Structure 1
């Protein structure tokens, strides 16, 4: 007992030091980075950095690196297991059924509302409830709810309700497909969102929603809704994976409360390489969306279009090449991890087990990308919901304060810090030796630092409009 008590005291001291240093590093990183945004609103000052860019990027990468080094001080397996395995179960099955019925009805009514208003309502994106519900309500706010509170999509999903009411062909879903249809569909949705006039033309958005509805309902009635929405529907997989970061998790009997990110350490979050690819898409699509509206991205697009290539094809090629590049970097990191750990565990299995931390990174990216967008436009969303068939004369748009850069940068850094901790825990589950577990983390920590610096660099650049796309 005395040995265990001494170990706990030492671990507690190490953890206290780690928390203090991490907090200081985070404040320094955010403070230096946010120095670029102290003179005016965020959108007007992203490229006006008052400190050297190398210091701005190094502070962010250094914060993640410091976190990685400090987590390596925490080697007490009992403490690590206790943090991530501790749960509080709430058996509220009856309440969940009632809530599911109400939210399911709301989801179907919401889908009908979006389609009807998109056809009959005002045809300007800024005052269209169809556009604002889709991008502010679902793309931004509902996703934030998924990774900060819990995944609401299984209850809300209107396409699941429609598919459940239709007869199913009950065709066996091919195992080899895994989640690859969801990967391809999500890449397609990201491309269409960028090159199509979906945010400016409500009727074009209605056409896209109807096309998506046909695709996912057809898949669900062919392969059964349970299988399709678990594996192949991009929105369902999107919300499920983002929801794995949240403290509230659904169970067979109700819900359970866990530490944020604790679910990511479970070995059933990801089970195959297609799910790993989907995780990489979540990180890459936000990086891609940020890159194409910065000066380097605009110059790249304009140069390629100058060679005679169609702009839509250029954007698709950049999306796919970047995705393949991210996959290659991640696969190399998995191989280096196997080499560093000197283990017989396969590179494939290491890639699967170390992939869930990417969801924490994606959540941080998403928060940084959409929190200001949501705050600015939520009053307009309310205005259009109150007057869906007539354009509000003066839709309300909130301006962001000069210090809002702190919030965005903190989101990116906190997402990476949580990812480092999750990777640390996974390594101690996989490898029996402490030094072996620590060495295994080096390649993934290097990738995370690189991702951090890239995302902060993009955040530091002035934001332009994507060229050759409907504005």
Structure 2
């Protein structure tokens, strides 16, 4: 191939990539201008027919998938995804920063427990609630997928377990990451059926219980095995951190294009990893579903046939997770059929699963960015006065401008576009033929379209409170 031909192909590829991003941004503006979505008891108002709004969002992802398929220059794809800049971090710096970070986190956790029991029993004025849900659930997770995984440097439970006698039993290799999946399901369930955001004392008990669980697990099988396989928090941040531009290496940090890590084969290595990744998408969908009118109707219907509310929520959690996971695994089987490849459906499921992490990041940002920004004044007030909090009126929410709601739609669609691009790059790693690579993506893009339309549908709904969960 001549240099001029190569430059021409790269120009076409660059234009297609730019057009993909442009379509996404343009649709964000068009859709978001008609939607105002509130994350805390607000309402989403769609001034165009809902079916047209959802169809537009789904069409954006389908269009971005088709446009990305125009980028078939393997050298260009490799050039984009392999670019990196090494940021050295001396071993001594890493060691002491880790110790300092873990010590600070341990102090914060102790304050969470103490203030949860002794502080004001009002979620919006509680150090415990604000730090856990605004600082960690929202802010720290955003740091993971927007910057890089911060958890290894601040994990206090691993440090405690490492200082104790540990490694009494060998972690069963066949278990893979299924304990982390089960533990995350349990955490999601507890968050749904208990008033953690409204009752600081309940949250303090939950933090104590999880701390005991995390330390006991790390002591039993050893900190390294536990963090890698059984700890849902470490797995949570490891997967979200894979989306970020900063990736830790043996020499320090590597600055890369966002999402570049998602094409690598060593990120998702077992079906338990696939389940965890899908669960990250489902838990955000579920948290939005249960506070919208359709979710309230489903829960009330289940309770109406005689199920206790706690059983109804458990059934909804597990059934929805099974549906999301089943849809993804079905896409993997269809991908194998369309690509006519010797690669197994299981292997395709493993390789394409990391692209869903971009979707999870977009969902998380849509759910929590406005919440985080609006609660920043209260979080700062709590951090400055953890032991002697002022009266609740001192804890104020930042009033956001009306256009802020447009960002929710932008975040959802941007996450999906990045996911489509990551899946596209992965397909060209797997298949030698361009047509074969393109055909393999179609079932996964179809699943992404379905996820997009569902998430946008939820964003268009008014939101309330979780039925039958009392503070």
What is the CA distance between 1:26 and its match in structure 2?
2.1
Q: Which of the residues 367, 376, 379 maps onto 2:377?
A: 379
Is the 1:149–1:248 Cα contact (8 Å) retained in structure 2? yes
- Match of 2:430? 430
Query: Who is 1:444 aligned against?
Result: 444
Partner of residue 159, structure 2: 161
Task: Work out the CA distance in 2 between the residues paired with 1:180 and 1:17.
Answer: 40
Deviation by residue 1:44-89 (Cα, 9 ceiling, x = unmatched): 7633211111221122111111111111111111111111112111
What's the CA shift for 1:17?
A: 4.0
Q: How far apart are residue 190 of structure 1 and its match? A: 0.6
Q: Is the 8 A contact 1:32 1:51 kept in 2?
A: no
Distance 2:17 2:87 in 1: 32
Supply the distance in 2 between the matched residues of 1:47 and 1:139 (Cα, whole angstroms).
23
| Structure 1 unmatched runs, 5+ | none
Q: How does 1:267-286 map to 2 (within 5 A)?
A: 267-286=265-284
1:290 aligns with 2:294: no
- The answer to whether structure 1 residue 62 and structure 2 residue 59 are counterparts is yes
- TM-score when normalising by structure 2: 0.96
Deviations 1:380-410 (A, max 9, x none): 0111122223443321111221111221111
1:216 to 189, 211, 214: 214
* Matches of 2:321 and 2:339, distance apart in 1: 27
Asked whether the 8 Å contact 2:41–2:465 carries over to 1, the reply is: no
Cα separation, 2, equivalents of 1:326 and 1:37 = 26
Larger deviation, residues 52-61 vs 285-294: 52-61
SS state at 2:314 partner: helix
Instruction: Report what 1:3 is aligned to.
Output: 2
Instruction: Map 1:139-288 onto structure 2 (within 5 A).
Output: 139-288=137-286
Deviation of 1:10 (Å): 2.2
My pick for the range that moved more, 69-78 or 48-57, is: 48-57
Please state how far the C-alpha of 1:120 moved relative to its aligned partner: 2.0
Poorly superposed stretches of 4+, deviation over 6 Å: none
What is the alpha-carbon root mean square deviation over aligned residues?
Answer: 1.5
Q: Secondary structure at the match of 1:37?
A: coil
SS in 2 for 1:392: coil
Q: Partners of 1:341 and 1:41 in 2: how far apart? A: 42
Distance in 1 of aligned mates of 2:330 and 2:264: 23
The runs of 5 or more residues in structure 2 that have no matched partner are: none
Q: In the alignment, is the contact (CA less than 8 A) between 2:115 and 2:127 conserved in 1?
A: yes
Q: Distance between the aligned counterparts of 1:386 and 1:83, measured in 2?
A: 43
Counterpart of 1:339 in structure 2 is 337
Does the Cα contact within 8 Å between 2:28 and 2:410 map onto a contact in 1? yes
Alpha-carbon distance in structure 1 between the residues aligned to 2:69 and 2:209: 49
Alignment partners' CA distance in 2, 1:42 and 1:111: 26
C-alpha distance 322-52 of structure 1, shift in aligned 2 (>3 A)? same
Question: Structure 1 residues 136 and 41, CA, compared in 2 at 3 Å: closer, same or farther?
Answer: closer
How far, CA to CA, are the matches of 1:121 and 1:306 in structure 2? 38
Structure 1-normalised TM-score? 0.96
Question: Is 1:76 aligned with 2:73?
Answer: yes
Closer, same or farther in 2 for the Cα pair 1:407/1:18, shift >3 Å?
same
Q: CA deviation at 1:299?
A: 0.6
User: How many pairs does the alignment contain?
Assistant: 468
The CA deviation at 1:231 is 1.1
Displacement after TM superposition at 1:101 (Å) = 2.2
Does 112-121 or 223-232 show the bigger shift? 112-121
